[in-house]
Structure 1
Amino acid sequence: MFVGHAAFAFAVVGGVAVWRGWTAERALTVGLLAGGFAALPDVDIAYALVGVAAAAGGDALTLATAFWSTGNLVHRAVTHSLVLAPAVALLAALVGTTRGGRFAAAALGALLVAVAWTASGPLGVVVTVPFVVGAALLGGVADAVGLPAPKVFAVGLVGLVSHPFGDLFTGDPPAMGYPLDATLVAERVALAADPTLHLLAAFGAELATIWAAVLVVGAATGLRARTAVAPRATLGAGYAASVLLVPAPTLDLSYPFVFSVLGVGLVGALPRVRVVGTPDGPTVEPPDWLAACLTGLSAITVAWLAYAVAYVIVG
């Protein structure tokens, strides 16, 4: 759900900006900042690289298992807290104000690190420091593009607060009450009783957020996504055959499905070959980046839907 968090926040904030009549540049800028704040909580997964390094030399499944088992030691705790989110958003907003404001931001960052130390010890500090630094950097970017502090706070808060709710569909629920000893959500939200259908539904939800972001870009710029999608996106339907080859995906074993279905998106980068009607012989025309991205996204969407239908039929 890494991409989905950013796409959702971008769609919400950018969509509101477009609805309020902001210019395309301004609307897309605040949308991107919201996406940045929404992705920021997952900086804590960087600690998982420790586990990957320890498992170096193993196969792909071993490395993936090491990544998540190590990362989950600190994942979805301090950086996913609804209690601390307003303070982090305020920190980002203060970075672009006066010298006194920047000093207050530094003091607030130090306080957040101290809270993490008290609640989680050194391991909490390891993830809180890059979290705080990342928020400060995003605040600096917002200041550079001329976004006033109140709007930085609002955009940051939307991104940070929306993130934990997206995680309710995958893995263990985040510690949204951290550092308080309070459990807001105790169990994962099940989208289907069948674990494979649950994974497919969660993947579909992420695709939906990405398409929502595309629609916001279209509303802001006048882009018509349909005109940029090449017919070869329908090749994704062939992925249905992989239901016989790829292990039924679940949250515990999603990698074969996720990596292979994302690979379908490479069809978007395929060049267009013209053989007929070219006086100088066959020509090869590489797609522009927009056509490549939207065609690839469309192919992945078709592949996901085809696999889901095939799974229901075969299963």
Structure 2
Amino acid sequence: MFVGHATFAFGVVALAAAGLGASRERALALGVAAGLFAAVPDVDMAYALVGLVAVDPTSPMAVAQSFWGASTVVHRAVTHSLVVAVPAAAAFALAPTHRRLAAAALAALVGVVVAASGPLPAVIVGLFAAGGWLVARAAHAYRVRGASLFAVALFGLLSHPFGDLFTGEPPELFYPLGANAFDGRVALSADPTVHLLGAFGVELFAIWLGVAAALWLTGHRLTEHVNSRAAFGAAYALAVLVLPPPTIDASYQFVFSVVAVGFVGVVPNPRFDGRPLSMPSLPTALVTGLAAVTLAGLAYGVAYTTGLA
């Protein structure tokens, strides 16, 4: 959900702001700020880089497994807490105009984490504080200030952990209070492969929401940017014959290959008059690639559930 967290928050806030009467430019500014704040909790993935130390770089699977294995040490803990989100959002809202007060609040938050969990989580929350501070300063420069800045920061931080309920270990929603609302991930199906496909669908929905909102607010129609090459995504159904059934715990081959289908979006437009090939515009490349990935996921799901494997 790395991308989906940001695009979901962006789409919801931007569309809500426009619906409440904000100009399209204002709605975009609020949405972008919310999306950036929604991405900040995943700064805890920085520790996963430790997993790349001494791993064989010629083995992509070993690199991926080591990276994700290291990420579980601190991922989805303090930065994903609803309890932490409220004072953090307040501090971020104060950062552009009341720096000392905001710094004191964030320093106190780091101190609480040191006392509750030790130095490593404190380092992570320090990175979290720095990331939120930078986003707040950037948002302030685009006139997202005061109560509006607090609102988008709070929505971004609060919305983030719920997108993680379908993958991996559930976030510690009430850190540092000790209570946990979920004992494990929320299952979309008893079949682990269908569950993975469902979680993939949730991610795609979150991305499509953000893309559709961005296109609408910038005066573009979605249909204007979907190239017929997206139909090639349907061929991914054949992957069911060669890939082992993917699950959340063994998803690398599926995820990397299905996302790679999106590169059809950047294929140059053919020319038959001798002129040089023309590259598709950025919106067309992104929307066509996303459409191809979506169709690929659907095609694979149909092939798997109908027993074509």
Q: What do residues 230-255 of structure 1 show as CA deviations (whole Å, max 9, x unaligned)?
A: 11110110111111112211111111
The alpha-carbon deviation at position 58 of structure 1 amounts to 5.7
Q: Indicate conservation of the 8 Å contact 2:29/2:144, yes or no.
A: no
- Equivalent runs, 1:68-83 vs 2, <5 Å: 68-83=68-83
Matched, 1:285 2:282: no
Contact 2:14 2:213 (C-alpha < 8 Å) held by counterparts? yes
Query: Number of residues paired by the alignment?
Result: 308
TM superposition outliers: structure 1 runs of 4+ over 3 Å:
none
Separation in structure 2 between the aligned mates of residue 203 and residue 163 of structure 1, nearest angstrom: 16
Alignment partner for residue 225 of structure 2, among 228, 235, 241?
228
- Which letter maps to 1:102? R
Q: How does 1:122-201 map to 2 (within 5 A)?
A: 122-201=119-198
Select between 14-23 and 85-94 the one with higher mean Cα deviation. 14-23
Q: 8 Å contact 1:18–1:219 — kept in the other structure?
A: no
Contact 2:259 2:293 (8 Å CA) reproduced: yes
TM-score (norm 1): 0.95
Q: Contact 1:96/1:149 (CA < 8 Å) preserved in 2?
A: no
Counterpart code for 2:105: L
- Using structure 2 for the length normalisation, give the TM-score: 0.97
Deviation at 1:18, TM superposition (A): 1.3
Separation in 1, partners of 2:249, 2:50:
20
Distance (Å, rounded) in 1 between the aligned partners of 2:214 and 2:50? 38
Contact kept? 1:23, 1:220, Cα under 8 Å: no
Structure 1 stretches of 5 or more lacking a match? Answer: none
Q: Would you say the 8 A contact 2:262–2:289 is kept in 1? A: yes
- Percent of residue pairs bearing the same amino acid type: 51
Question: What CA distance in whole angstroms lies between the structure 1 residues aligned with 2:64 and 2:123?
Answer: 21
**Conserved 8 A contact 1:236-1:264:** yes
Please say if residues 269 and 292 of structure 1, whose CA atoms lie closer than 8 Å, have aligned partners that are also in contact: yes
Deviation at 1:95, TM superposition (A): 1.0
C-alpha distance in 2, partners of 1:11/1:186? 30
Distance 2:116 2:181 in 1: 18
SS in 1 for 2:283: helix
Matching of residue 64 in structure 1 with residue 61 in structure 2? no
- Residue in 2 aligned with 1:32? 32
Distance 1:104 1:117 in 2: 20
Structure 1 SS opposite 2:155:
helix
Residue 221 (structure 1) shift: 2.4
Does residue 1:212 correspond to 2:209, yes or no? yes
Mapped to 2, the partners of 1:187 and 1:221 lie a distance apart of: 40
Report the residue type matching 1:171 in the other structure.
Answer: G
**Larger CA deviation: 152-161 vs 20-29:** 20-29
